[in-house]
Structure 1
Amino acid sequence: MAEQIQRKLAAILAADIAGYSRLAGADEERTLARLRALRSDLIDPLIQVHHGRVVKRTGDGSLVEFRSAVDAVRCAIEVQAGMAERNAGLPPEQRIDFRIGIHVGDVVEENDGDLMGDAVNIAARLEGEAAPGGISLSEDAWRQVRDRVKEHFIDRGEKALKHIARKVRVFSVELEGPAATRRQDGAATAAGAAAPPPHLSIVVLPFANFGGDPEQEYFVDGITESLTTDLSRIAGSFVIARNTAFTYKGKPIDVKAIGRDLNVRYVLEGSVQRGGSRMRVNVQLVDAETGNHLWAERFDKPLTDLFDMQDEIVGRLAGTLNSELIAAEARRAERSPRPDSMDLHFQGLAAAAKGWAPEYAAQARGFFERALALDPGNIEALVGTATVDMMGGFIFTADDRTSRFSAAESTLTRVLKVAPNHAWAHYLLGFVLIHTARIAQGIAECERALALDPNLAMAQWAIGQAKYFAGRGEETEAHLNEALRLSPRDTNAHIWLMGAGFAKLQLRADEDAAARFRGSIERNRNLPIAHFGLAAALSHLGRTEEAKAAAASGLALDPTFTIARMRAGAVTDNPAYLAGREHIYDGMRKAGVPEG
């Protein structure tokens, strides 16, 4: 019989050190020595007194199980009071400040004592919501303790926590003594020194309603609210909640002051103006530290159904902002003398966004592996390595496609065990399943990704690819169009167009195929397989010299490519799919692509 899963209700406390990478980078040996001393002299004795059990420790982080939320909160309060005393008199750059998150929920206990489940993930995300020296609780934990501890609580409203499907109402403990002066929004430390803003931290300010039409106000506010929700789905992001953002509504905007007040790196502001039968929406992304404009977009559309317009505008903005914010974080990381794990993660994403050529994949892998060396628990860096493995298997730049896909699948299985609502990981797993002949399972994973993040254009495209592998290339175009609607300037759009080109070749629509491949190459010239696809289409159109030039361009990017390698990568045994592949091989052969 299968081993029965052991579930139980537990109070989970998650803690880490704010700015640990900075402290360790300045003096690693001293920081580690202080941390060991704090654990033995202060933290572990308090955990024991309050009947807690240390589940695991990863670097500066700790996960602790308690019998009750009351025990967990009392322990956390005493830890923070003890830390305030130990930090007294130290300069800000030498203080060790813990952030603590507490949640009560159902967990699964493994044989080795480890705990898994959403309750653990929520506690970890609540820790990120706490200010340095502060404590954040979920509403479930707050209900258990509100009448049993003397401290007061601050209701911070519902928060969209990263990789958590539903919003969680968050409360902060209002601490007494030296720690009480700490800002609960994380903007400053007890001594008034500014804490560094979190990576990819942003506030979406209420959009201005130019013209003042009160009937338009709900549309304007809806854009702000929806953007706030959708941006919180970006991996690694920290987005200020809607209730806080709306306190700035109708007030003069000083971007630098807002950045300092909310401790964020970026501010998104915009306006909506209605003129006759048209609606104009202007949006701009601003660096809160410098006040420099990083990106701007304008929508000028005929006035139709307002809700449909809102969905389209928000979807396109969220997709584009994902790329823009990652690029901005990567530029910051390049200027950092001591990049931390997340800095390196963003640099890896930026390298991968240059194109799926082997050199960029190698650069990306290097950044992700360095990130994991600094923080083995960096989920986003793990997903990054899976992305690179998936890329290598997909674009025929290696003969070991099976091992690449297998490595990606293994990594993603680990990730989803810890972060079951990671939309990008579900998409990647779906992609791997699709490309290893498990079409139905792959489509289901991509649909799960879209349920978690409706703006995930890559998942739309992957479903279109699956239809091509199933011999239904005529259905691929609709998924391409939806992906482009969601993210018309996506850095991966050249991949989508390339995939649509092969679907057109399956249908013997060679002219349309050539147009798709040309569109792919115009957006990014670094994808070898797009050049080989163009060569095949041009060969069938009788444009031999152009076909040979396209093949030569592909071989310049990947001299090791052969038709045999591509043949070995056939995904399914569907007759229509295989017949289409023969059409592709024949065109490549005529263009001079090596047989292998």
Structure 2
Amino acid sequence: MLKSSQHSIVIGDRVVDLVRDTLRDRAGDIVPLRPRAWAVLRLLAIRAGHLVGKDEIMDEVWSDCEVTEDSLVQAIGDIRRALGDAGRPALKTLPRRGYMLVVDDKPIDAPVVSGSTVEISEIEARPASSPMPHLSIIVLPFANLGGDPAQDYFVDGVTECLTTDLSRIAGSFVVGRNTAFTFKGRAVDARQIGRDLNVRYVLEGSVQRGANRFRLNAQLTDTETGGHVWAERFDKAAADLLDMQDEIVARLANTLNAELIKAEARRAERSPRPDAMDLYFQGRACINKGVTPVFLAQARDFFARALALDPGNVEAAVAAAQIDVSVASAFLTDDPSVQFEAAETALNRVLLHAPSHPRAHMLLGAVQMQTRRVLSGIAECRQALLLDPNLADAHGFIGLGKFLLGRGEEVEEHVREALRLSPHDTRIYLWYMFVGLGKLSIAADSEAVDWFRRSIECNRNHALAHFHFATALALVGDVQEARAATLAGLALDPGFTIRRYRTKPRVDSPAHLRFYEGMRLAGVPEG
């Protein structure tokens, strides 16, 4: 009746697609379902074979408003109608307790937990044969080391917001806050949690707030080995609690995004038969190494293989489009319009099926900005931020848009916002380069040198940053170092020329005449 994979569940002639967040029929057409009903179905699908309590469903799906149980009953009715003939036998009602999607006609019932203390052995566990989801994580309630009960709401808020924000990471599975909070105040064993809840990672931490300082410690543990994957400490002056909570959560979520991708890529390298998501994570890890023809070609291959295995994998499709955006943006080709057009076509196709995908909107914005539709591109990046306020890269691209509009003096403020959200981001070298371009466009050449130098220090595997660095150095009179920077750029991209850089210029500005002059002084080939 019901068959499951890591990314979809087949119920009769319907497919619950957890990658594209849609219910589809066998022909691939979307079966209409209202947002709240879909959210209920998605939760039940993720927990297929397990009882999901009514209170948990209400807390997860209607956390932003007060509703009665009638809303849940109505959503369940909508789901059954959408599932068709298979809906009633597959979706079980357990009176006064909750609902369950049945796996292979064998429900796996969880014990009723009563009282305020819950032993790990009492937490419902998935069957041993169930594969552990990629990038699966539980955020345990952070400990309040200050001991002040008045701070509990803040500490719990960090845990809850982080749970929500981590769920936005592509390919992630995050255990709901209700289950996570059953562990509050208890010593736990990460390996046991991994076995019981079928998750790969446990995030735990502590918060301590003194009179003038705020300190947060966090660590990520691999549940298979028990070893620490990552640890971080935030120590800063105490400020408005809510503002500080938003900033801390954003920084944690963005840092964890990169760390989890690296961890998943390492796992995939050891897999004898990688699946589509294994290949996706390996491709993302390649992208994070830098923008060179070699790294981008490797990443493109991973995404192509992922899409061959799973043509409907939205994340792989978006990442493949990012390769085209990167190739065109970095002038790694003689005619960037070809890659920009390919990326735009692919991203529009993704947004047709997944209209709320933040990175797809952001990358579409990056394409539009660099094909003379700057205001439209900035609007796409702002839409991405509405969908994911932690998407620091969107702030960076808005900064690029301001440069392309000829408003170079405004670039730095947008990059500063990106840095506030993600000060150790894997894309930080691009943001620094954007500020350098802004400074160069307003003839603040010495400042441009500093920003380009910082870009290269963060990641030397970006040829275009070396060429811009060489340009700025030449314009301030340091021709010898400028020529060394040019050679470093050519080692990464031997085909770069001034002629290529001038092909279909992204912006009409007299400032660009200075760019070409600086490149010639720095010894960049004319082409």
Same fold (TM over 0.5): yes
Say which of 403, 419, 437 aligns to 1:468.
403
Consecutive unaligned residues of structure 2, counting only runs of 5 or more, are 62-71, 81-86, 112-122
Task: Map 1:526-537 onto structure 2 (within 5 A).
Answer: 526-537=461-472
Task: Map 1:342-357 onto structure 2 (within 5 A).
Answer: 342-357=277-292
- Post-superposition CA distance 1:156-180 (Å, at most 9, x none): 9xxxxxxxxxxxxxx6327699612
Quick one: distance in 2 between partners of 1:419 and 1:540?
46
Q: TM-score, normalised by structure 2?
A: 0.85
The one-letter amino acid paired with 1:308 is D
Quick one: distance in 2 between partners of 1:569 and 1:478?
28
Q: Give the equivalent residue in structure 2 for 1:518.
A: 453
Say which of 429, 441, 444 aligns to 1:509.
444
The one-letter amino acid paired with 2:93 is H
Quick one: distance in 2 between partners of 1:582 and 1:422?
38
Q: Give the equivalent residue in structure 2 for 1:129.
A: 46
Is 1:321 matched up with 2:256? yes
Quick one: distance in 1 between partners of 2:518 and 2:103?
75
Quick one: distance in 2 between partners of 1:124 and 1:507?
54
Q: Give the equivalent residue in structure 2 for 1:25.
A: none
Quick one: distance in 1 between partners of 2:79 and 2:211?
56
Is 1:590 matched up with 2:505? no
Q: TM-score, normalised by structure 1?
A: 0.76
Quick one: distance in 2 between partners of 1:254 and 1:433?
49
Quick one: distance in 2 between partners of 1:339 and 1:568?
40
The CA deviation at 1:113 is 8.7
The CA deviation at 1:227 is 0.3
Say which of 30, 45, 49 aligns to 1:115.
30
8 Å CA contact retained: 1:153, 1:174 = no
Quick one: distance in 1 between partners of 2:429 and 2:28?
47
Q: Give the equivalent residue in structure 2 for 1:232.
A: 167
The CA deviation at 1:274 is 2.1
8 Å CA contact retained: 1:446, 1:463 = yes
Say which of 164, 171, 188 aligns to 2:126.
188
The one-letter amino acid paired with 1:505 is L
SS in 2 for 1:467: helix
Q: Give the equivalent residue in structure 2 for 1:141.
A: 75
Q: CA 1:188/1:570 → structure 2, altered by over 3 Å: closer, same or farther?
A: same
SS in 2 for 1:179: coil
The one-letter amino acid paired with 2:518 is G
- Post-superposition CA distance 1:208-229 (Å, at most 9, x none): 0012101111110010011011
Quick one: distance in 2 between partners of 1:149 and 1:539?
73
Quick one: distance in 2 between partners of 1:254 and 1:538?
55
- Post-superposition CA distance 1:372-422 (Å, at most 9, x none): 111111111111110101100100011121010111111111111111111
Task: Map 1:240-251 onto structure 2 (within 5 A).
Answer: 240-251=175-186
Say which of 356, 366, 371 aligns to 2:306.
371
The one-letter amino acid paired with 1:241 is G
Quick one: distance in 2 between partners of 1:16 and 1:533?
54
Quick one: distance in 2 between partners of 1:548 and 1:181?
68
SS in 2 for 1:180: coil
The CA deviation at 1:452 is 0.7
The one-letter amino acid paired with 1:411 is A
Quick one: distance in 2 between partners of 1:344 and 1:251?
37
Quick one: distance in 1 between partners of 2:102 and 2:327?
51
The one-letter amino acid paired with 1:348 is G
8 Å CA contact retained: 2:200, 2:223 = yes
Q: CA 1:143/1:359 → structure 2, altered by over 3 Å: closer, same or farther?
A: same
Quick one: distance in 1 between partners of 2:28 and 2:142?
49
SS in 2 for 1:173: strand
SS in 2 for 1:535: helix
Q: CA 1:395/1:183 → structure 2, altered by over 3 Å: closer, same or farther?
A: farther
Q: CA 1:182/1:380 → structure 2, altered by over 3 Å: closer, same or farther?
A: farther
The one-letter amino acid paired with 2:448 is A
- Post-superposition CA distance 1:494-525 (Å, at most 9, x none): 01111111111001111110111110110111
Q: Give the equivalent residue in structure 2 for 1:152.
A: 93
8 Å CA contact retained: 2:199, 2:223 = yes
Consecutive unaligned residues of structure 1, counting only runs of 5 or more, are 1-12, 22-34, 48-53, 55-61, 65-97, 157-170
Quick one: distance in 1 between partners of 2:15 and 2:238?
52
Say which of 511, 517, 524 aligns to 1:580.
511
SS in 2 for 1:270: strand
SS in 1 for 2:206: strand
Quick one: distance in 1 between partners of 2:7 and 2:237?
51
8 Å CA contact retained: 2:412, 2:435 = yes
Q: Give the equivalent residue in structure 2 for 1:79.
A: none
SS in 2 for 1:261: helix
Quick one: distance in 2 between partners of 1:243 and 1:419?
28
The CA deviation at 1:300 is 1.0
The one-letter amino acid paired with 1:331 is R
8 Å CA contact retained: 2:456, 2:462 = yes
Say which of 252, 268, 272 aligns to 2:203.
268
SS in 2 for 1:534: helix
Q: Give the equivalent residue in structure 1 for 2:100.
A: 173
Quick one: distance in 2 between partners of 1:155 and 1:405?
55
The CA deviation at 1:330 is 0.4
- Post-superposition CA distance 1:277-324 (Å, at most 9, x none): 111110111111111111111111111211111111111111111100
Quick one: distance in 2 between partners of 1:495 and 1:118?
40
Is 1:420 matched up with 2:355? yes
Quick one: distance in 2 between partners of 1:239 and 1:201?
6
Quick one: distance in 2 between partners of 1:364 and 1:217?
44
The one-letter amino acid paired with 2:75 is A
The one-letter amino acid paired with 1:374 is L
SS in 1 for 2:107: helix
Q: CA 1:134/1:63 → structure 2, altered by over 3 Å: closer, same or farther?
A: farther
Q: Give the equivalent residue in structure 1 for 2:375.
A: 440
The CA deviation at 1:196 is 2.0
Q: CA 1:579/1:244 → structure 2, altered by over 3 Å: closer, same or farther?
A: same
Q: CA 1:102/1:435 → structure 2, altered by over 3 Å: closer, same or farther?
A: closer
The one-letter amino acid paired with 2:211 is G
Is 1:307 matched up with 2:222? no
Quick one: distance in 2 between partners of 1:416 and 1:264?
30
Q: Give the equivalent residue in structure 1 for 2:223.
A: 288
The CA deviation at 1:122 is 5.5
8 Å CA contact retained: 1:423, 1:450 = yes
The answer to which structure has the higher strand fraction is: 1
Quick one: distance in 1 between partners of 2:104 and 2:170?
36
Aligned length: 487
- Post-superposition CA distance 1:505-546 (Å, at most 9, x none): 001111110111110110111101111111111111111100
The CA deviation at 1:118 is 6.3
Q: CA 1:431/1:19 → structure 2, altered by over 3 Å: closer, same or farther?
A: closer
Quick one: distance in 2 between partners of 1:558 and 1:595?
14
8 Å CA contact retained: 1:315, 1:487 = yes
- Post-superposition CA distance 1:455-476 (Å, at most 9, x none): 1011000101000000001000
Say which of 191, 194, 200 aligns to 1:256.
191
SS in 2 for 1:115: coil
Quick one: distance in 2 between partners of 1:222 and 1:312?
12
The CA deviation at 1:154 is 8.1
- Post-superposition CA distance 1:127-148 (Å, at most 9, x none): 74142599999844314589x9
- Post-superposition CA distance 1:352-384 (Å, at most 9, x none): 110011110000000000111111111111111
Quick one: distance in 2 between partners of 1:466 and 1:300?
33
Q: CA 1:124/1:559 → structure 2, altered by over 3 Å: closer, same or farther?
A: farther
Quick one: distance in 1 between partners of 2:126 and 2:39?
24
